[in-house]
């Protein structure tokens, strides 16, 4: 065995118990106590599931949660909860699921543990001092155990990869891989825990991590803002004042340490300050951290200036207020330990597993392509009917409840119900500022453009005719597109579709730009003189579920269909648009072109402009 | 201060007196520890813990909230892999897909299930949970979010035997009947399929002719779960089957007599349906303590009964949302006590805890019974050799409980110390001093992976673990734990030292052995 004790004495003691004879077996007094958390805000569709039960119901501000409860947020929804005794606060963004694993008391100490199952969570952990000094606040994900006290940090579970990203804004968070049963196999050089400092982040895509320190990197603000919803960003900006204060104290500590000759505050970190220049870089970054987050969020149209103005009101020192015109770019080199950076090796990450899963999904989609439409349609119908049945069930429950209540209680019930609905809709303010960019999910604009679907071009290069469909004008809140169906007709002796049945994703098209979409093209055998080509596209979210809204304000390419010329003669060739429908996710028709069956729109095939 | 000390001494002394109480018959030759604890080892059996779907060797494979288990006739473990919407098989060779396919992900990145019958590679499920097998080896699956009961034939083909995908509570032919989030099934010898129809709060059956019949009374109860929020709720009633009520029944297991145990989750109780007498009774948990005419629910706001944690007489026992259950060969009932993060055992009117943290903390630690931790275990299944598989859902793992076995020990009457299954070799022998076993500290600590240092005139012992953790033991010369020097070695009381290092410590009187387990 090597002598590692000296290292541990240098202020690195993770776990030091002074055991005098009075020690009572620690486990004897842990209780699933009356500890609780309260929902401070619930905006949009937030539901709770009480402890181990299966029933779920809507959640509202003021609702009290206990150990074992689960809180879930739907699309565009958010929730803020606060641990009642310790005042730790968590903002849970949309599509989030948070399980209150442990809210226990152990003597005077509290055990506070959450499991983040999906979504993103901004945690403000109060300092622990005095008799609570030994306590930690913990968030577990599939790939990380994050423990902290007196910190502000963000935990994100990537929708596609399941990877955990944790970003620290203030304080120190200790991150570990959850698997402990293989510790015997680890060599002593490998640390099971790593400290993450302000303006740093860690990405854990799997539990199999060789060198945790090498997973720590400088904060990636663009990625952070891309991944977290507006309500969560607002929470960060609102905490600006406290974050600044916390970081000032820490910067002071670093200065003292540097003066005392300590360059690495811990060996369990990717962090080093060699001189004053380093320290100044780090301090400047800390001052600019929330400013950079706010700026990126404004640029990405995720928050509004008024959020920043409100946060600034709490800051006394004018120099510490967020001023977007003065935000300095963060220095990415500040504080990173060159030795640890050298440890980082070529991406040996877990994307392989993900690719394999993606491959399987695609293969199965292709194999079951003929069934897909029916599966989707069936599911949509079932989900819709079941949603109604559930609504029906709760209104029946309401009736039964009211029968049991006396007049006064009934009134109180109605009043509370009204309040709940108000508080929920009042805060569902995910209304991001308007923007002209027609990207998927971008918010509706003020001017309601006319909805269109056109066959714009049919261009021949002598071998292939490319027919292009465009779509636009879907810019109002109730015009989010879920699916599109189109039917084209053409002379089957002159043109034919020989391409793949599934259209490859393409960032330039309406559906191709979405990760979770499917586009199909099919030309079934025909008996008449016209061949029919069916095009169908859909967002793969399920009806009634939480697919991201899809708005297309300005006209955008829907699909380009390559049709093969049977011979080189393209004279007088015509393609007909004979049918289309654009649907929202509840099956409502947003734009109906079914009348075209009687009188199709004919588009003449033109030669490509360049010479042929 | 005195109290702690005397407690420790008493437990060492009374080891042989207490042994043999509790549910000692479990797995007949399981060792029983000092306080009546059945000694079990917990380890990870399958799943790396990562939330994924990879098929691989057992411990490298991935699951997404595994929720149901069944040991098939050939010994393979069948797993209902909830969020992957798959049925998978785990064998010595690794994992493979049995039915259902990965088809799509939604906007949140969650896999989307569906309702599709067909060959195994063209079938879909939606959050499948409980599994059961009939005498021929066909599998039945409670396909929870499809509100349907599915069957997997011997050729792997999947059919729907009852349920339409719509939620409801219609009886009648399987093709018309409806369910609401059924979470478990059990198959009787005559082919009758029992269904825990969880959110309808009733037990149903599907006759061999395919007819769905509701056996117990539906609940009319409704609660105001939060001011202004009305929620339909389950209820409680024992008595004739037709009037009996449940609250989110979510686990089923038939005993040797063909009667049905029901894990009544929302009532934190275990119920028993005796088909011969037609009566439903409560056999363990809080519902046994309810006075006649009294309600299990404190007021109009409570969805569920009062939960808790307590071992002992079944009528004193307490659970927190018991989920999947399984009957052992000796007629006991293993219970996945989901929110106590523990595995419980009911036999002969006594409830014991087989594994799970002594303070019911969640976690994923492998090791000795009451040091091991789980994270929302939802089902259990018994292996042919009697060991117990656990669907440890939030850890994305299958865990395995096996009875602890002592290694081969020398016949000599000398004191022995074992760590797990390894005998510790001493160059200076342990000693018994006033009922305490004293051991040379370095020999034991180093075997445990700690480095030992002394300071302050041997009064401060520092243990440094391989992971850098440090534990300091300051020893008071006046305390009964005072170490002493002998032949140049420091002797300390083994129980005290090991407990402080976080180990489970048991004394086996018969072989004069101290058993230490991480």
Q: Is B409 on the interface with A (CB under 8 A)?
A: no
- By C-alpha distance, the chain B residue nearest A538 is B106
Residues of B in contact with A356 (CB under 8 A): 54
Interface of B with A in 152-171 (CB under 8 A): 165-168
Asked if A353 is an interface residue toward chain B (Cβ–Cβ < 8 A), one would say yes
Q: Do A99 and A49 form a contact (C-beta atoms < 8 A)?
A: no
Q: How many CB atoms lie within 10 A of CB A317?
A: 10
How high is the pLDDT of residue B141? 98
Whether residues A404 and B359 touch (CB distance < 8 A) is answered with no
3-state class (DSSP) for residue B398: strand
A375–B contact, CB cutoff 8 A:
yes
Say yes or no: A12 contacts chain B, CB-CB below 8 A: yes
How many CB pairs below 8 A link A and B? 297
Query: Minimal Cα–Cα distance from A364 to chain B, Å?
Result: 6
Is residue B321 within 8 angstroms of chain A, CB to CB?
A: yes
Please answer yes or no on whether A17 and B338 come within 8 Å at the CB atom: no
Any A CB within 8 A of B330 CB: no
A527 pLDDT above the threshold of 70: no
Collapsing DSSP to helix, strand or coil, A277 comes out as helix
State the angle between helix axes of A369-404 and A407-427 in degrees (0 to 180), rounded to the nearest 10: 140
Asked whether the predicted pLDDT for residue A346 surpasses 70, the reply is no
Residue range B328-334: average pLDDT?
93
Confidence of residue A179 (pLDDT cuts 50, 70, 90): low
| CB pair distance less than 8 Å for A181 and B231 | no
Which whole-number Å values give the CA distances from A47 to A38, A60, A63, B64, B145, in the listed order? 14, 8, 11, 22, 17
pLDDT at B351: 95
> What is the C-alpha to C-alpha distance for residues B4 and A238, in angstroms, rounded to an integer?
49
pLDDT for B375: 94
CA distance A542 to chain B (A): 7
Name which of B48, B122, B230 is nearest A394 (Cβ-Cβ).
B230
pTM of the prediction? 0.73
- Strand order, beta sheet including B504-508: B422-423, B416-419, B513-517, B504-508
Residues sharing a CB contact under 8 Å with residue B238, sequence separation 6 or more, in sequence order: B244, B271, B279, B280, B281, B282, B287
The shortest C-alpha distance from A516 to chain B (Å) reads: 6
Please determine, for residue B23, whether its predicted confidence score (pLDDT) is greater than 80: no
- What's the confidence (pLDDT) of residue A236? 92
Q: Once rounded to an integer, what is the mean pLDDT over residues A90-95?
A: 93
For residue B479, pLDDT over 70 is answered with no
Rounded Cα distance, A281 and B229, in Å: 53
Q: Would you say residue A452 has pLDDT above 60?
A: yes
Nearest CB to B361 within list A30, A404, A541: A30
Asked if residue A232 lies in contact with residue A93, where contact means CB atoms within 8 angstroms, the answer is yes
Q: How far apart are alpha carbons B82 and B85 in whole angstroms?
A: 5
Residues B86-125 as b or e (16 or more Cβ within 10 Å = b): bbbbbeeeebebbbbbbbbbbbbbbbbbbbbeeebebbbb
SS3 A338: helix
Number of helices followed by number of strands (H, E) in chain B: 4, 43
In this structure, the strands spanning B470-474 and A18-19 are: parallel
Q: What is the pLDDT of residue A184?
A: 36
Q: What is the mean pLDDT of residues B100-116?
A: 88
Q: pLDDT-based confidence at B17, cuts 50/70/90?
A: very low
How many angstroms separate the CA of residue B482 from the nearest CA in chain A? 10
Q: Is the pLDDT of residue B261 over 70?
A: yes
From the candidates B359, B445, B476, B497, which should be mutated to test the interface with A, based on the most A CB atoms within 10 A? Answer: B359
User: Is the model's pLDDT at B7 over the cut of 90?
Assistant: no
Q: What is the Cα–Cα distance from A206 to A349, expressed in whole angstroms?
A: 8
What percent of chain A lies above the pLDDT cut of 90? Answer: 23
Give the pLDDT confidence score for residue B84 in this predicted structure. Answer: 97
**Predicted pLDDT of residue B338:** 96
In which band, very low, low, confident or very high, does the pLDDT at A314 lie, cut at 50, 70 and 90? confident
CB contact under 8 A, B52 and A14: no
Q: Which of A104-113, A192-201, B382-391, B474-483 is predicted most confidently?
A: B382-391
Tell me, yes or no, if B454 comes closer than 8 A to chain A by beta carbon: no
Interface test with A, best of B50, B265, B505 (most A CBs within 10 A): B50
Note the pLDDT of residue B147: 97
CA-based nearest residue to A100, from A125, A123, A69, A60: A69
Decide: B126 and B80 in contact? Cβ < 8 Å: no
Nearest chain B residue to A50, by CA = B303
Are B358 and B339 contacting, i.e. CB atoms less than 8 angstroms apart?
Answer: no
Cβ–Cβ contact B101 with A under 8 A: yes
Question: Which residues have C-beta within 8 Å of that of residue A244, sequence separation ≥ 6?
Answer: A286, A287, A290, A315, A320
Greater pLDDT, A247 or B9: A247
Q: Does A420 contact chain B (CB < 8 Å)? A: yes
Quick: pLDDT tens for A379-395. Answer: 999 999 999 999 999 89
pLDDT interval class at B490 (50, 70, 90): confident
Which residues neighbour B309 within 8 Å (Cβ) at sequence distance 6 or greater? A32, B318, B319, B320, B337, B340, B342, B360
pLDDT of residue B481: 67
Q: What DSSP string describes A488-503?
A: EEEETTTEE--S-SBP
pLDDT for position A592: 86
Q: What is the mean pLDDT of chain B?
A: 88
A172 within 8 A of A127, measured Cβ to Cβ: no
pLDDT at residue A25, rounded to an integer: 32
Tell me which H or E stretch contains A538: strand A530-539
Whether residue A317 has pLDDT greater than 50: yes
**How does the average pLDDT of chain A come out, rounded?**
79
pLDDT at A547: 58
Q: Considering Cα of A16, then A22, then A26, then A29, what sign does the dihedral take?
A: negative
Q: Does residue B246 carry a pLDDT above 90?
A: yes
Position with higher pLDDT, A427 vs A90: A90
Which of B 348-407 lie inside 8 A of A, CB atoms? Answer: 357-362, 364-366, 375-376, 394, 396
Task: Give residue A327's pLDDT.
Answer: 85
pLDDT over 70 at A188, yes or no: no
Contact B326, B358 (CB under 8 A): no
Per-residue pLDDT at B5 exceeds 70: no
Min Cα distance B413 → chain A (Å) is: 31
How far apart are the C-alpha atoms of A420 and A311, rounded to whole Å?
27
Which residues, numbered 267 to 296 in chain B, qualify as contacts with chain A under a Cβ-Cβ cut-off of 8 Å? none
Contacts of B462-468 with CB under 8 Å at 24 or more apart are B462/A5, B463/B501, B464/A4, B464/A5, B464/A8, B466/A183, B466/A186, B466/A188, B467/A183, B467/A186, B467/A191, B467/A192, B467/A193, B468/A4, B468/A7, B468/A8, B468/A12, B468/A14, B468/A191
pLDDT of residue A430: 40
A53/B304 Cβ within 8 A? yes
Res A122: pLDDT: 95
Do the Cβ atoms of B48 and A207 come within 8 Å?
A: yes
Of B302, B308, B400, the C-alpha closest to B71 is: B400
Which among A207, A367, A541 has CB closest to B106?
A: A541
Q: What is the pLDDT of residue A187?
A: 36
Per-residue model confidence (pLDDT) at position B19: 34
The stretch A115-126 carries a mean pLDDT of 93
Query: pLDDT digits over A471-502, tens only?
Result: 988 888 888 888 888 888 888 788 888 777 77
In angstroms, rounded to a whole number, what is the distance separating the alpha carbons of residues A424 and A430?
Answer: 12
What is the C-alpha to C-alpha distance for residues A545 and A548, in angstroms, rounded to an integer? 9
Summarize pLDDT for B499-509 with one digit per residue, the tens.
Answer: 878 889 998 88
Contact A27 B357 (CB under 8 A): yes
pLDDT at A360: 85
- Nearest partner of B138 among B210, B193, B201, judged by Cα: B193
At residue A30, does pLDDT exceed 50?
no
Question: Across residues A490-518, what is the average pLDDT?
Answer: 79
Helix (H) or strand (E) holding B116: none
Three-state secondary structure readout of B224-255: EEECCEEEECCCCECEEHHHCECCCEEEEEEC
Asked if this assembly's ipTM is beyond 0.90, the reply is no
- Hey, is the C-beta of A104 within 8 angstroms of any chain B C-beta? yes
pLDDT at A344: 58
**From B5, B101, B167, residue closest to A364, measured CB to CB:** B101
A570-612 pLDDT, tens digit each: 788 889 998 888 888 777 788 888 888 788 888 888 887 643 3
pLDDT at A546: 53
The verdict on a CB contact (< 8 Å) between A542 and B106 is yes
Among candidates B107, B115, B230 on the partner chain, residue whose Cβ is nearest the Cβ of A378:
B115
Q: What is the pLDDT of residue B4?
A: 23
C-beta atoms of B103 and A401 within 8 A: no
Q: Which residue of B has its CA nearest to A410?
A: B228
Closest chain A C-alpha to B299 CA, distance in angstroms: 12
């Amino acid at each position: 065995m090597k002598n590692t004790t000296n290292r541990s004495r240098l202020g690195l003691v993770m776990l030091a118990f002074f055991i005098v004879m009075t020690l009572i077996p620690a486990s004897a007094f842990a209780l699933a106590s009356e500890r609780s958390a309260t929902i401070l805000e619930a905006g949009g569709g937030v539901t709770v599931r009480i402890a181990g039960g299966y029933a779920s119901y809507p959640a509202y501000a003021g609702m009290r949660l206990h150990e074992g409860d689960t809180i879930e947020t739907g699309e565009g929804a958010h929730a803020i909860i606060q641990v009642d005794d310790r005042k730790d606060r968590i903002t849970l963004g949309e599509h989030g699921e948070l399980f209150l694993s442990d809210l226990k008391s152990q003597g005077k100490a509290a055990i506070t543990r959450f499991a983040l199952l999906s979504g993103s969570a901004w945690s403000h952990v109060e300092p622990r001092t005095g008799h609570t000094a030994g306590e930690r606040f913990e968030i577990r994900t599939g790939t990380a155990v994050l423990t902290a006290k007196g910190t502000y940090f963000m935990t994100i579970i990537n929708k596609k990869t399941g990877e955990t990203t944790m970003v620290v804004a203030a304080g120190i968070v200790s991150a570990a891989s959850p698997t402990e049963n293989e510790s015997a196999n680890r060599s002593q050089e490998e640390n099971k825990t790593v400290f993450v400092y302000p303006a740093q982040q860690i990405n854990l895509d799997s539990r199999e991590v060789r060198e945790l320190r090498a997973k720590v990197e400088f904060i990636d603000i663009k990625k952070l803002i891309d991944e977290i919803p507006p309500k969560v960003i607002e929470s960060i900006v609102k905490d600006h004042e406290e974050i600044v204060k916390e970081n000032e104290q820490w910067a002071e500590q670093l200065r003292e340490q540097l003066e005392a000759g300590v360059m690495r505050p811990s060996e369990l970190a990717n962090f080093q300050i060699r001189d004053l220049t380093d320290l100044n870089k780090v301090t400047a970054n800390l001052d600019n951290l929330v400013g950079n987050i706010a700026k990126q969020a404004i640029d990405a149209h995720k928050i509004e200036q008024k959020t920043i103005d409100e946060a600034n009101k709490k800051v006394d020192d004018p120099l510490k207020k967020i001023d977007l015109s003065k935000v300095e770019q963060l220095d990415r080199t500040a504080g990173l330990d060159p030795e640890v950076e050298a440890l980082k090796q070529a991406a040996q990450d877990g994307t392989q597993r993900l690719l394999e899963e993606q491959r399987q999904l695609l293969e199965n989609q292709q194999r079951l392509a003929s069934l897909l439409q029916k599966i989707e349609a069936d599911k949509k119908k079932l989900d819709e009917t079941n949603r109604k049945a559930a609504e029906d069930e709760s209104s029946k429950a309401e009736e039964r409840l009211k029968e049991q209540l006396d007049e006064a209680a009934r009134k109180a019930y109605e009043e509370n119900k009204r309040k709940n609905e108000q508080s929920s809709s009042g805060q569902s303010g995910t209304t991001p500022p308007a923007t002209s960019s027609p990207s998927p999910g971008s918010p509706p604009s003020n001017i309601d453009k006319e909805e269109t679907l056109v066959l714009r071009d049919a261009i021949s290069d002598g071998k292939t005719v490319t027919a292009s469909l465009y779509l636009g004008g879907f810019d109002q809140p109730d015009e989010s597109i879920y699916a599109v169906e189109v039917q084209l007709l053409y002379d089957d002796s002159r043109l034919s579709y020989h391409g793949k049945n599934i259209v490859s994703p393409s960032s330039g098209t309406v559906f191709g730009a979405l990760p979770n979409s499917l586009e199909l093209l099919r030309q079934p055998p025909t008996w008449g003189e016209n061949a029919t080509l069916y095009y169908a596209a859909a967002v793969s979210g399920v009806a009634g579920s939480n697919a991201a809204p899809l708005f297309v304000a300005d006209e955008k390419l829907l699909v380009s269909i390559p049709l093969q010329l049977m011979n080189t003669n393209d004279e007088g060739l015509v393609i007909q648009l004979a049918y289309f429908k654009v649907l929202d996710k509840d099956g409502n028709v947003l734009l109906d072109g079914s009348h075209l069956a009687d009188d199709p729109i004919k588009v003449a095939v033109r030669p490509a402009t360049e010479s042929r | 201060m005195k109290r702690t000390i005397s407690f420790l001494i008493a437990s060492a002394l009374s080891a042989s007196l207490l042994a043999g109480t509790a549910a000692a018959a479990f797995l007949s030759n399981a060792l029983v520890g000092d306080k009546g604890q059945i000694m079990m080892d917990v380890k990870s059996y399958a799943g790396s813990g990562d939330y994924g779907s990879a098929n691989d060797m057992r411990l490298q494979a991935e699951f997404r909230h595994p929720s149901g288990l069944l040991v098939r006739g050939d010994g393979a473990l069948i797993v209902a892999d909830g969020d992957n919407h798959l049925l998978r098989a785990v064998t010595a060779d690794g994992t493979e897909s049995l039915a259902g396919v990965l088809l799509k992900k939604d906007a949140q990145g969650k896999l989307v299930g569906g309702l599709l019958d067909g060959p195994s590679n063209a079938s879909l499920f939606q959050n499948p949970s409980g599994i059961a097998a009939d005498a021929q080896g066909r599998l039945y699956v409670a396909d929870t979010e499809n509100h349907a009961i599915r069957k997997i034939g011997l050729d792997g083909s999947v059919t729907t035997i009852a349920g339409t995908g719509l939620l409801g509570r219609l009886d009648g032919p399987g093709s018309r009947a409806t369910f609401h989030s059924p979470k478990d099934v059990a198959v009787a010898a005559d082919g009758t399929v029992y269904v825990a129809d969880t959110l309808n709060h009733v037990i149903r059956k599907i006759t061999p002719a395919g007819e769905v019949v509701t056996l117990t009374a539906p609940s009319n109860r409704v609660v105001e779960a939060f001011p202004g929020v009305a929620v339909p709720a389950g209820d409680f009633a024992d008595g004739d089957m037709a009037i009996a009520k449940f609250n989110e029944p979510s686990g089923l297991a038939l005993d040797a007599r063909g009667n049905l145990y029901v894990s009544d989750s929302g009532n934190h109780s275990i119920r028993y349906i005796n088909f011969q007498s037609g009566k439903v009774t409560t056999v363990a948990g809080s519902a046994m303590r309810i006075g006649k005419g009294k309600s299990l629910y404190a007021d109009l706001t409570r969805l569920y009964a009062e939960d808790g944690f307590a071992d002992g007489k079944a009528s004193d026992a307490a659970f927190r949302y018991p989920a999947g259950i399984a009957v052992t060969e000796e007629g006991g009932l293993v219970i996945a006590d989901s929110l106590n993060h523990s595995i419980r055992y009911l036999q002969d009117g006594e409830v014991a805890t087989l594994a799970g943290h002594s303070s019911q903390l969640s976690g994923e630690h492998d090791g000795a019974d009451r040091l091991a931790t789980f994270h929302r275990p939802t089902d259990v299944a018994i292996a042919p050799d009697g060991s117990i598989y656990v669907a440890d859902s939030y850890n994305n793992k299958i865990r395995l409980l096996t009875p602890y076995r002592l290694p081969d020990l020398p016949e000599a009457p000398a004191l022995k110390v074992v760590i797990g299954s390894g005998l510790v070799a001493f160059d200076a022998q342990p000693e018994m001093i006033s009922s305490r076993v004293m051991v040379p500290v370095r020999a034991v600590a180093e075997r445990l992976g700690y480095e030992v240092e002394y300071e302050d005139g041997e009064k401060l012992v520092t243990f440094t673990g391989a992971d850098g953790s440090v534990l300091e033991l300051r020893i008071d010369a006046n305390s009964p734990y005072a170490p002493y020097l002998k032949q140049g070695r420091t002797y300390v009381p083994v129980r005290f030292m090991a407990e402080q290092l976080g180990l489970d410590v048991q004394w086996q009187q018969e072989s004069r052995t101290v058993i230490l387990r991480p």
